[in-house]
Amino acid sequence: MKERKRFETRVIHEGYSSVGHSDSLAPPLYQTSTYTFQTAKQGERRFAGEEDGYIYSRLGNPTVSILEERMASLEGGEAALAFGSGMAAVSAVLFSLTKAGDHIVCSQGVYGCTFGLLELMEEKFGISHDFSPMDTEEEIRSKLTDRTTCIYVETPINPTMQLIDLELVSSIAKEKGIPVVVDNTFCSPYLQRPLEFGCDLVIHSATKYIGGHGDVIAGIVVGDQERMSTIRMTTQKDIGGIISPFDAWLLLRGLKTLAVRMDRHCESASKVAEQLKHHPLVETVIFPGQVEHPQHHIMTKQMKKPGGMISFTIKGGKEDAQRLMDELKMIKIAVSLGDAESLIQHPATMTHAVVPEEMRMKMGITDTLLRLSVGLEAYEDIWEDIENALNRIG
């Protein structure tokens, strides 16, 4: 039986042995588009699935395979697939689980581009969707229909930081035989592993905490072997949203420090959230680590730590929120997250601008809501930058 190492060890070693790779300590970058066959018959056997081996990098690549095995281990899944972006991963999963006329139930709030994809699927293919707070068993059941083929969850929700009880959702879904898909981008597998709570598929925008350095765009899906094989040979192969070998190599490099980085992100975010709470110009702070958070009990149940993301509202209007961003000196205005640099953005006019205003308000995305990704800088410097900006607009 294979020895099961701890997370912090697997994030560095899983899926790779230097044996057979010229004893290279670091996983090699196989920057190739295709592979040669020793004979025509070997090529025939590989295409027929009778012999293992690589054929073409859209179908598989050794560097990518190492990343996929490592991510599957970290999430506790049987297999993983790597994609060229988080949205390539989201679209591949949703296309694989639905057909024309089907129905999707979503958490009350999703990433803006996921919202746009859901709207596109409804317009083009008649695949409808409903949003639900998923806060009670009755609420979840009320949204399910005989056409529901997927439950799609973000937790924490981007950008409102609301939490969903994954165990509750998955228990209801299993009764109905409906797969549960969880976007785990805000947590990374270090903080939360949805498969352990009965969910079926986990998605990451690996651009964020998995990469961690703001230099790669990528997506990951983890699940059981059967579903992953189906997605690999259908939506991934035929739509083609694959990851490049170099991007997979960058993710493998970034993953090695995931546990260390997440500890620092969480520690600093907790301190910043506490300081924000006491500033007179800050109206509300939404951070799962604070006992005032309405789903704090869910955080303690399914997350190792509260994460490095904070949302907060300031007193005033949209112009005040934008002015605060402009007054920051070190913290950058950018729509990504999980980087070494602290980043801030205005969801209503940036990541969630595609969402109609009425829907944004229902999601809790107001004009004064700001989303802060707490980076790896010294906590004192992060808070000093925020405090000085707040004082300049006060």
Share of the chain above pLDDT 90, in %: 98
d(CA 299, CA 97): 28
Q: What is the mean pLDDT of the chain?
A: 96
DSSP 3-state of 283: strand
User: 189 is in which domain, residue-wise?
Assistant: 7-30+61-255
120 and 212 housed in the same domain: yes
Quick one: which H or E segment has residue 343?
strand 343-345
CB within 8 Å of 9: residues ≥ 6 apart: none
- Look at residue 148 and tell me if it is in a domain: yes
d(CA 160, CA 369): 9
Q: Which of 302, 299, 278, 279 is nearest to 287 (CA)?
A: 299
334 and 197 housed in the same domain: no
Amino acid at 68: E
E strands, 137-231, are 148-154, 180-183, 201-205, 219-223
What confidence category does residue 2 fall into, taking pLDDT thresholds of 50, 70 and 90?
A: low
Of the residues 111, 152, 190, 379, only one is catalytic, namely 111
- Copy the structure tokens of residue 144: 């399910």
As a whole number, mean pLDDT of residues 266-285 equals 97
Q: What is the number of domains present in the chain?
A: 2
Share of the chain above pLDDT 70, in %: 99
Catalytic site includes residue 277: no
Instruction: Give the pLDDT confidence score for residue 142 in this predicted structure.
Output: 97
What confidence category does residue 1 fall into, taking pLDDT thresholds of 50, 70 and 90?
A: very low
- Look at residue 388 and tell me if it is in a domain: yes
Angle made by CA atoms 169, 363, 103, in degrees to the nearest 5: 50
pLDDT digits (tens, 9 = 90+) for 332-368: 999 999 999 999 999 999 999 999 999 999 999 999 9
Mark which of 225, 255, 285 sits at the end of a domain: 255
As a whole number, mean pLDDT of residues 44-62 equals 95
Paired residues of 171 in beta bridges: none
d(CA 70, CA 362): 38
CATH of the domain at 337: 3.90.1150.10
Catalytic site includes residue 237: no
CB within 8 Å of 286: residues ≥ 6 apart: 160, 161, 162, 293, 310, 311, 312
Q: Which of 74, 317, 299, 71 is nearest to 165 (CA)?
A: 299
What confidence category does residue 394 fall into, taking pLDDT thresholds of 50, 70 and 90?
A: confident
CA torsion through residues 5, 200, 258, 82, sign: positive
- Copy the structure tokens of residue 95: 């296309």
What confidence category does residue 90 fall into, taking pLDDT thresholds of 50, 70 and 90?
A: very high
- Copy the structure tokens of residue 44: 């025939």
Q: Which of 209, 161, 184, 186 is nearest to 312 (CA)?
A: 161
Q: Are strands 148-154 and 103-107 parallel, antiparallel or unpaired?
A: parallel
pLDDT digits (tens, 9 = 90+) for 296-336: 999 999 999 999 999 999 999 999 999 999 999 999 999 99
Catalytic site includes residue 208: yes
Instruction: Give the pLDDT confidence score for residue 156 in this predicted structure.
Output: 98
E strands, 25-156, are 79-83, 103-107, 128-132, 148-154
330 and 185 housed in the same domain: no
The model's pTM is 0.95
Of the residues 35, 45, 54, 58, only one is catalytic, namely 58
Alpha carbon 112 to its chain centroid, in Å, reads 13
Of the residues 70, 208, 232, 305, only one is catalytic, namely 208
Catalytic site includes residue 147: no
Mark which of 212, 227, 255 sits at the end of a domain: 255
141 and 284 housed in the same domain: no
Of the residues 102, 183, 200, 247, only one is catalytic, namely 183
Q: Which of 335, 329, 197, 188 is nearest to 265 (CA)?
A: 188
pLDDT at 14 over 80: yes
Mark which of 238, 255, 272 sits at the end of a domain: 255
12 and 72 housed in the same domain: yes
